[in-house]
Amino acid sequence: MTRGDIGAFVAHCDKVIEGEEDALLSDLTFAVKDIIDVAGCRTGCGNPDWLRTHEPAQQSAPVVRKLIDAGATMIGKTVTEEMAYSLIGENAHYGAPVNVNAPGRVAGGSSSGSAAAVAAGDAHFALGSDTGGSVRIPASFCGIYGLRPTHGRIPLEGIMPLAASYDTIGWFARDPAVMSGVAHILLDDWREPEILTRLYVPEDIWALADEAVQAALVPALDRLEALVGPHQGFLIGENGSIEPQAAAYMALQGREAWETHRGWVEAENPTFGPGIAERFRAIAAIADDEVARWTEWRGDFAGGLCGVLNEGAVMALPTAPCIAPFTGEPQGRLADVRKRILLMTGAAGHAGLPQISIPFATVEGCPVGFSIVGRRGGDEVLLDLARRLNPA
């Protein structure tokens, strides 16, 4: 397939910006999710009304400028789900980018175009965002690497916010060496990886995954144990339930998203596609006492998990509970998939922890991602483990 065949790139920004010569990332190309500013282009955020009501960016986001200064050539902007507010990879206005590694199935969202472009070989790497799993899930569904960095470690200037206390900027690549090269540019305070002494497995989260996914990732866990040592099982949920993972996320992220975009939504009355429209109606009704209750829960949860994942420790889990759904599945089925995903991705999001998805296995011919979560600021450890666990 060629670049035009997979529907990964937006039509309203065909700009190419050459990178500096003889720099660390020279000879590499990259794509940019269309919630990130590129000078001279409108940032569309997956919605035609947003595109229509916003002027072209005066300057590129710092993450884009840093990569160009480091030698990488920017080749275009990629399709995102509307307002970066979904995990599936189907945009009612711009379509579903093709997942070349799982034909007939979605690429995952909301960084669908970035993941699809990298999987198809149209770019060496691509920028995406991850609030509730929007890098991790497309990485798993498309069979590529994807990193959600420690929350707050990479500045978000020049990027459309969704929920500031969860938002991160991450990236995709097919090669762990490229993942690490990008990290050396975007992580200003690069640190040498520490020695790992403890490996944890959240047994209740593993149990959420389809049996075939669990079985496919046993060899990955075995290889990680060979590097770190035997794993210790524990339960991440409170009182025997992990349901709060998703409930807290939907309430807290939803309130932040509404506070961020309420003014624009009420002024413009934008046309949202299925799923997104219902989501914006729901978040407008989130009660203050619900936000207060889940804010307290999040503080307790994050403190407890960070107490486990401190220096020298990592946690392993499936990236997604299932393989990529088929395109065009009913909204009710996709809502169930989204909830299962949030139960798995919520831990890193609530606690602000870094998580990397490694393409390690297949089920029914479709990619399955293996994830490692590290301590706050432990991004380098995850990138090092991705290189050492490279199944190729």
Give per-residue pLDDT as tens, 269-294. 999 999 999 999 999 999 999 999 99
| Mean pLDDT, rounded, for 250-255 | 97
Flag the least confident range among 120-124, 229-233, 236-240, 273-277.
236-240
Query: Tens digit of pLDDT for each residue in 180-207?
Result: 999 999 998 888 999 999 999 999 999 9
* Domain ranges (residues) in the chain: 1-392
Is residue 341 within 8 Å of 87, Cβ to Cβ?
Answer: yes
Sign of the alpha-carbon dihedral angle for 119, 121, 124, 125: negative
> Residue 386: left if φ>0, alpha if ψ -120 to 50, beta else—which one?
alpha
What was the pLDDT predicted at 121?
Answer: 98
Question: What mean pLDDT is predicted for residues 160-186?
Answer: 98
Q: What is the DSSP string of 151-163?
A: TTSS--TTB--S-
Reported pTM: 0.97
Q: Specify whether the CB–CB gap between 143 and 367 falls below 8 A.
A: yes
Q: Could you read off the pLDDT of 11-63 as tens digits, one per residue?
A: 999 899 999 999 999 999 999 999 999 999 999 999 999 999 999 999 999 99
Task: Please tell me what DSSP assigns to residue 326.
Answer: B
Percent of the chain with pLDDT over 70: 98
**69 or 331: whose pLDDT is higher?**
69
Is 110 in the active site? yes
Q: What angle do CA 118, 121, 125 make, to 5 degrees?
A: 40
pLDDT of residue 392: 61
Place of tokens 């706050």: 376
pLDDT of residue 1: 42
CB 261 within 8 A of CB 353: no
Amino acid at 92: A
Cβ atoms of residues 77 and 34 within 8 Å: yes
- Tracing tokens 């392993």 back to the chain, one arrives at 316
Residue 2 has pLDDT above 50, yes or no: no
- The per-residue pLDDT for 4 is 59
Q: Is 134 a catalytic residue?
A: yes
Q: Is 60 noted as a catalytic residue in this protein? A: no
Of 60, 110, 357, 371, which is the active-site residue?
110
Fold classification of 1-392 is: Amidase signature (AS) enzymes (3.90.1300)
Task: Tell me the average pLDDT of the chain.
Answer: 96
Residue 390 has pLDDT above 90, yes or no: no
pLDDT at 237: 86
Distance CA 170, CA 41 (A): 21
From 111, 134, 140, 180, the catalytic residue:
134
Rounded mean pLDDT, 354-378: 98
* Per-residue confidence (pLDDT) for residue 238, from 0 to 100: 76
